[in-house]
Structure 1
Amino acid sequence: MHFLPSDLIVDGVRIAYRDRGEGEPVVFIHGTPSHSYEWRNVVPHIEATGHRSLTYDLLGYGRSERPVDRDTSVAAQTDLLGSLLDALGIEQAAVVAHDIGGAIGQRFAIAHPERVRRLMIIDTVSYDSWPSETWQNIIDERLEDHMRLPQETFDALLTRQLEMTVSDGAATMTGDVLEAYLAPHRSALGRVSFFEHQVRHYDSRYTEEITGQLTCLTMPVRVLWGERDQWQSLSYAQRLAEDIPRARLTVIPGAGHFVMEDAPERVTEEILDFLAEQDRLPQGQQR
């Protein structure tokens, strides 16, 4: 069975999702180049501890629809998150968001603070930290050419990128794990979708334009980061922790950008600690 077993039409598009458990809702937002598979070793443990967990593939990613004429930028994905929560009757939730999902989480929490009880951002894009020089070059000069790459060439390109997301490279990104990350792109449509729905929207303006609003994040915030992240420098984590009021930074030793691959038990522990921690806050700090 797929990790995301259900589908829902939201604002006219199909979203693949998983909604399980009881209790306080927790929404998991994945990053790129990825889909909700990255949460497979974390979410079931959160579900088992008395939380309702909502995990979904962003529009244009994974098992969700890949529309021909639909904006899949960070801004559009932020709006769609609100519509998804409405459709599932979730008024307020904790948000746990990784990479580009972290930009969505930041923007949603700023725009709708009443809907985000707490926010954890994990190895997130922020400020001017993205895209990398490699991706920017592709966006500026070779995007259309890359959409026409043969499968073998595309797989080699994405495999090289995925190996950079974990601390031990090809030792983790191999076999069934690598295949699961490549699977959504095992067709001409999948390869085009990767560049059209993901890479085209690697744009730091979506985070740079909210820099001055990070001080508005007054809900509890935790910043979780892999010590050996090759894509998002630890300096950005430190800057986020300084700019967001009372935010706490936790660094996972030896972990890379996909901390859920390198240290799933530690990530699960940190999420559970964060979810429980707020219940111990003094009354004056409760939202």
Structure 2
Amino acid sequence: MNFLPSDLIVDGARLSYRDCGEGKPVVFVHGTPSYSYEWRNVVPHVEAAGHRAITYDLLGYGRSERPVDRDTSVAAQTDLLAGLLDALDIKQTAIVAHDIGGAIGQRFAIAHPERVRRLMIIDTVSYDSWPSETWSKIIEEQLEEHTRLPQEAFDTLLTRQLEMTVSDGTATMTDDVLDAYLAPHRSALGRVSFFEHQVRHYNSRYTEEITDQLGSLTMPVHILWGERDQWQPLTYAHQLAADIPGAHLTVVPGAGHFVMEDAPERVTAEILGFLADQGPSSNGPCPE
């Protein structure tokens, strides 16, 4: 399945995306180490329920362009999200965002509250919750060395990280699923891109600098979290729920950081429930 069948130029960069359905839109923003593949068991059901769903790969991720000299930080990705919406002539949208995508969603909602109808953040980075000790050490001491890793060593490193994203890595993050998450990095360019476009920009300043502004959010906010998230502890979910006025927190029992891998049906149900008052619409043709 070619999950993202189209490309669009936004601010001079090529983004791969999927836009299916009619009516009020909802934009899905993925996290790291990931790309739009993480939504494959969720987005088609949202589309089938009659919502217009826009799914895309962040710049430097997945099928989108991997520019040599381009800022792909959370701040820059937030600006690109605004550009993507402009290019698609979307004035206002719901946003469903995971991991660093959640940071992008938070920043976009704070900067452009009139453009966000509602916001769902899933196991998001926030405050000082990131990067982990492992990634911090790599960023500070070993980044250049890691960009030169041979494929086998890189696969071992990323596989170990991916296994931590789900509740049972040896059962879930295997075979075709693991291969799909590794696929964008199965080349020298892909390996370098992972560290230059993703890891280099793991920096909590992008969330810490908006902490005092979370209280300004007035749109409906739903926080969804895996109970067994090893990367973003549940304490951060409760802190977000306390700091964002009226935010609703749902914890998914037994699920890890990639909650859409551990519990795709539950995630889909939560999203559809959150979008319910938007009302379904007639659905246009969707890519197979």
Settle same-fold status: TM greater than 0.5.
Answer: yes
Identity %: 83
Give per-residue Cα distances to partners, 1:81-120, cap 9 Å, x unaligned: 0000000011100000000000000000000000000000
Q: Write the mapping of 1:117-128 to structure 2, written as runs, cut at 5 A.
A: 117-128=117-128
What is the alpha-carbon distance in structure 2 between the residues aligned to residue 123 and residue 277 of structure 1? 24
Q: Distance in 2 between matches of 1:66 and 1:184?
A: 11
- For residues 231 and 150 of structure 1, the distance between their equivalents in structure 2, rounded to whole angstroms, comes to 26
2:102 partner letter: G
The residue type paired with residue 257 of structure 2 is H
TM-score, with structure 1 as normaliser: 0.96
In structure 2, distance between residues paired with 1:79 and 1:173: 32
Please state if 1:197 is matched with 2:189. no
Give the Cα separation in 2 of the matches to 1:93 and 1:261.
Answer: 25
| Residues 30, 101 of structure 1: 8 Å contact kept | yes
In the alignment, which residue of structure 1 is the partner of 2:220? 220
What secondary structure is seen at the aligned counterpart in 1 of 2:235?
A: helix
Using the TM superposition, give the Cα deviation of residue 278 of structure 1 relative to its aligned residue in structure 2, in angstroms.
6.7
Please state how far the C-alpha of 1:49 moved relative to its aligned partner.
1.0
- In 2, distance between residues paired with 1:22 and 1:251? 30
| 1:77-116 alignment, distance < 5 Å | 77-116=77-116
Give the counterpart letter for 1:122 in structure 2.
Answer: I
In structure 1, what is the Cα distance between the partners aligned to 2:155 and 2:128?
28
The letter of the residue matching 2:229 is D
2:156 — aligned with what? 156
SS at match of 1:167: coil
For normalisation by structure 2, the TM-score amounts to 0.96
Q: Secondary structure at the match of 2:120?
A: strand
Aligned residues: 279
1:9 matched residue in structure 2: 9
Deviations 1:205-240 (A, max 9, x none): 000000000001100000000000000000000000
CA distance in 2 between counterparts of 1:184 and 1:244 reads: 35
Question: SS state of the match for residue 213, structure 1?
Answer: helix
Amino acid at match of 1:94: A
Q: How does 1:1-287 map to 2 (within 5 A)?
A: 1-277=1-277
Aligned position for 1:284: none
1:225–1:234 Cα contact (<8 Å) kept: yes
SS of residue matched to 1:127: coil
> Which residue type is aligned with residue 128 of structure 2?
D
- Mapped contact 1:30–1:99 kept (Cα < 8 A): yes
Which secondary structure does the structure 2 equivalent of 1:50 belong to? coil
The question of whether the paired residues in 1 share the 8 Å contact of 2:24 and 2:278 is answered with no
Q: Does structure 2 retain, via aligned residues, the 8 Å contact 1:125–1:232? A: yes
Gaps of 5+ in 2: 280-288
Amino acid at match of 1:121: I
Give 1:168 shift.
0.7
Task: Answer whether contact 1:241 1:249 (CA < 8 A) is retained.
Answer: yes
Amino acid corresponding to residue 264 of structure 1 in structure 2: P
Deviation for aligned residue 1:38: 0.1
**Is the Cα–Cα contact under 8 Å of residues 220 and 278 in structure 1 kept in the other structure?**
no
What are the Cα deviations for residues 126-178 of structure 1, in whole angstroms up to 9, with x where unaligned? 00000000000000000000000000000000000000000011211110000
Letter in 1 for 2:104: I
Q: Structure 1 residue 277: deviation in Å?
A: 4.8
| Greater RCO (CA < 8 Å, at least 6 residues apart) | 2
SS of the equivalent of 2:224 reads strand
CA distance in 2, matches of 1:45, 1:63: 22
**Amino acid in structure 1 at the alignment position of 2:185:** H
Encode CA deviations 1:176-207: one digit per residue, 9 max, x unaligned: 00000000000000000000000000000000
Q: State the distance in 1 between where 2:23 and 2:184 align.
A: 32
How many angstroms apart in 2 are the aligned matches of 1:41 and 1:66? 26
Q: Assess if the C-alpha contact under 8 Å between 1:165 and 1:230 holds in 2.
A: yes
